[in-house]
Structure 1
Amino acid sequence: MTPDLLILDYEPAHQPAFRALNHEWIAQYFAIEPIDNKMLDDPEGYILGPGGHIFMASYGGELVGTCALIKEHDGMYELAKMAVSPRAQGLGIGWALGQAILGKARQLGARQVELLSNSRLTPALKLYEKLGFRHVPVPPTPYQRTDVKMVLDL
């Protein structure tokens, strides 16, 4: 990790950046879906309150990335809402966020972390594979864009 990169615990003041970072990548490739807006507008209610966690990445003093860990049930969490601003991609920020969120999952007692993605997001899928995730069959999901599911046993 470079000295200019800090991984921060989410604070309510980060909500506009959390929303903007995710809207930026989702709108670039897909349509924003109602479930996206629910989580992005109320991360405290949808992610933090039920036992999840959010990290923000600050690079050179600017919030340029984020990643959430959503509690599904005991021992099972979902890595979600990972986003790195296009102007900050290629700096290892996604890797640092992934490492931080998996460390938090272990700290919370997770046995498995899953994620949902799309086959068009090749750089993201390569990052998830590097983090140790493996592909599994895709169940029905609330997202129309999902055609990839990956899991990591901890």
Structure 2
Amino acid sequence: MNHDLTILDYEPTHQPAFRALNHEWISHYFTIEPIDNEMLDDPEDYILAPGGHIFMARHGGEIVGTCGLIKEHEGVYELAKMAVSPRAQRLGIGWALGQAIIEKARQLGAHRVELLSNSRLGSALKLYEKLGFRHVPVPPTPYQRTDVKMVLDL
């Protein structure tokens, strides 16, 4: 248990950190795509307004992680834009964000949480599996990098 970790509800002042944390990992492994910038530049309209949620993780007084929940349609949400700063990895922050997002999905009446990822992100995939997600076939998506889809039935 990490006692210096606080999971916070997103506020508009978090947008630069939300953007920076996601840009950091996406640009490290892949290329930033137009759909990324749309979501990261305006998470209020893209994620929150349609009924989603975003959590931010604060550790050591600094925002070091984030995870979004996007409403796909009634009862189905997508776990998206999970990021933990490299300097704060392996501290249980991704696990805490994942647990918070799953609990929020339940509160919102979700019966399923889905996510899209990439097979190169081994640590992330292990985390999702530990959270209870299972692999399913990958449908067409707006992201070039997607080659993994996972679901969690609640």
Q: Match of 2:9? A: 9
Q: How does 1:122-141 map to 2 (within 5 A)?
A: 122-141=122-141
Shift of 1:3: 1.5
CA separation in 2, counterparts of 1:65 and 1:123? 15
Structure 1 letter corresponding to 2:10: Y
Supply the RMSD in Å over aligned alpha carbons.
0.4
Structure 2 letter corresponding to 1:34: P
Shift of 1:108: 0.2
Q: How does 1:105-116 map to 2 (within 5 A)?
A: 105-116=105-116
Aligned sequence identity (%): 85
Gap runs ≥5 in structure 2: none
Q: Secondary structure at the match of 1:70?
A: strand
Gap runs ≥5 in structure 1: none
Cα-to-partner distance string for 1:108-130 (whole Å, 9 max, x where unaligned): 00000000000000000000000
Aligned length, in residue pairs: 154
Q: How does 1:92-111 map to 2 (within 5 A)?
A: 92-111=92-111
Q: Match of 2:26? A: 26
Point out 4+ residue stretches in structure 1 off by more than 4 angstroms: none
Cα-to-partner distance string for 1:123-144 (whole Å, 9 max, x where unaligned): 0000000000000000000000
CA separation in 2, counterparts of 1:88 and 1:33? 25
CA separation in 2, counterparts of 1:150 and 1:100? 18
CA separation in 2, counterparts of 1:128 and 1:37? 24
Cα-to-partner distance string for 1:19-43 (whole Å, 9 max, x where unaligned): 0000000000000000000000000
TM-score (normalised: structure 1)? 0.99
Structure 2 letter corresponding to 1:153: D
CA separation in 2, counterparts of 1:84 and 1:31? 18
